Amino acid sequence: MGKHFTLTATDKHQLGAYRAEPSGTPKGGMVVAQEIFGVNRHIRNVCDRLAAAGYVAVAPALFDRFVRDFESGYTPEEVANARKHLGNIDWDAMMRDFAAAADDVRSAGPVGTIGFCMGGTVSFLSATRLSGISASVCFYGGQIIRFADEKANCPVQMHFGEKDDHIPMTDVETIRKKQPMAEIYTYPAGHGFYCDERGSFDAPSAKLAWERTLSFLSANLKK
């Protein structure tokens, strides 16, 4: 079980966050980027799973700049409400907030990032725009295609669903061409396949993607 606390970005903005600690000496630190549904139970569970794997994990509340403490589930009504906030996204501001979370876990060792949906794009941007990131994992980041010409400064791993109705496979192929150094995997699943609270959850794909994630982190987050 983790704890809620407050981070402060370089522009003095204060935001909420969730932090989970491993039971033993940490292997490193992980910053977890939320979906548009906030630092909800799913994202907190990801932090807890990373802590169980030996990492200090922090999930910053990236929507706190325009709606405090936002948290949502996955009913059609909740999804529609969460999507209303898409127009408020400021990628540069999110990078400042993400950097504050990275600084918070840096004492644990090398820092990696992981994100889902919107957060998948945030995780990718952390690899291209932030310093001191050792590895980046991106699950079904729908906007990565917009930034695919940016050069990553660390190893990147991406996971996409072949049946994703938000991310066409043509986008994934373009990303492959523009990011030849990235590990890119696809799965016979739809959008959000890793989240076990969504109807699109695909257990075999989620299990394989998580195994690949932990292997990738182990290889790249070395003290």
β pairing state of 111-116 and 156-161 = unpaired
Encode pLDDT of 46-94 as tens digits: 999 999 999 999 999 999 999 999 999 999 999 999 999 988 999 999 9
User: pLDDT at position 180, please?
Assistant: 97
Domains and CATH numbers, the chain: 3-220 (3.40.50.1820)
Q: pLDDT tens-digit profile of 174-209?
A: 999 999 999 999 999 999 999 999 999 999 999 999
54: left (phi over 0), alpha (psi -120 to 50) or beta: left
Residue of 104, 191, 195, 202 with catalytic role: 191
**Which residue in 164, 171, 195, 202 is the catalytic one?**
164
Q: What are phi and psi of 39, to 5 degrees?
A: -85, 70
Q: How far is CA 76 from the centre of its chain?
A: 22
pLDDT of residue 81: 94
pTM of the model: 0.97
Render pLDDT for 90-125 as a digit per residue (tens, 0 to 9). Answer: 999 999 999 999 999 999 999 999 999 999 999 999
What confidence score (pLDDT) does residue 76 get? Answer: 93
Phi then psi for residue 117, to 5 deg, are 60, -120
Clarify whether 195 is annotated catalytic. no
The residue behind tokens 């049946």 is 163
3-class DSSP state of 131:
coil
pLDDT of residue 102: 98
Q: Choosing from 64, 103, 104, 117, which is the catalytic residue?
A: 117
Residue 164 bears catalytic tag: yes
How far is the C-alpha of 91 from the C-alpha of 148, rounded, in Å? 14
pLDDT score of 223: 76
User: What is residue 222's predicted lDDT score, i.e. its pLDDT?
Assistant: 86
